[in-house]
């Protein structure tokens, strides 16, 4: 007899979809443009099997990280570093998620108005400490995002999401 009751084990077809967590600090039209490009990229053809969750950095928690399989990070450069919001996210999740996500694919975009070097270096250093695996070069955008910048962030996001799709 086939049972469909709520307490029955999940069928094979209901397998959990891999989760991409987008953690971003978006505080201006320029960073909003890049976030939208990133979210568009996660919807590229063939990525339907990936569940995308989007969290402002100030609201993302260790549980969000533990529930996710890949990470896309977006931040402005602030005084030669990542935004305080993204740093606060990392401070809150670092030890609670350390080791748990070793090898998880991640990608990063940074927006700045003159020099994004320190922000990229800082995020990469923490991601390395967490054991995350970079699957795309960081995308840095200086000044007002043009079409090329949005396309680069789109590509970045699609690449991180695609890292969750198996060969079958």
Cα–Cα distance measured from residue 108 to residue 120, given in angstroms and rounded to the nearest whole number: 8
**Nearest distance from C-beta of residue 70 to ligand FMN, angstroms:** 24
Residue 78 touches ligand FMN, criterion: CB under 6 A: yes
Backbone angles phi, psi at 71, to 5 degrees: -140, 135
Which CB sits closer to ligand FMN, 33 or 97?
A: 33
Residue 115 touches ligand FMN, criterion: CB under 6 A: yes
* Residues sharing a CB contact under 8 Å with residue 145, sequence separation 6 or more, in sequence order: 30, 33, 34, 37, 111, 153
* Residue from 22, 23, 30, 163 binding ligand FMN (CB under 6 A): 30
Angle between helices 147-162 and 29-41 (to 10 degrees): 40
Chain centroid, CA 165 distance in Å: 15
Stretch that binds ligand FMN, among 18-26, 57-65, 74-82, 130-138 (CB under 6 A): 74-82
Residue 77 touches ligand FMN, criterion: CB under 6 A: yes
Q: Which residues bind ligand FMN (CB under 6 A)?
A: 28-31, 76-80, 111-116
């Amino acid at each position: 007899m086939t049972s469909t009751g709520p307490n029955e084990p999940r069928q094979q077809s209901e397998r959990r979809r891999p989760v991409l967590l987008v953690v971003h600090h978006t505080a201006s039209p320029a960073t909003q443009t890049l976030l939208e490009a990133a979210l568009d990229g996660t919807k590229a053809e063939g990525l339907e099997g990936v569940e995308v969750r989007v969290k402002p950095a100030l609201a993302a928690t260790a549980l969000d990280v533990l529930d996710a399989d890949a990470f896309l990070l977006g931040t402005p450069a602030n005084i030669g570093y990542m935004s305080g919001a993204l740093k606060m996210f990392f401070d809150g999740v670092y030890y609670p998620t350390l080791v748990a996500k070793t090898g998880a694919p991640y990608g990063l975009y940074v927006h700045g108005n003159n020099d994004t070097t320190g922000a990229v270096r800082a995020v990469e250093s923490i991601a390395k400490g967490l054991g995350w695996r970079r699957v795309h070069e960081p995308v840095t955008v200086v000044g007002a995002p043009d079409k090329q910048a949005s396309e680069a962030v789109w590509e970045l996001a699609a690449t991180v999401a695609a890292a969750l799709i198996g060969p079958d």
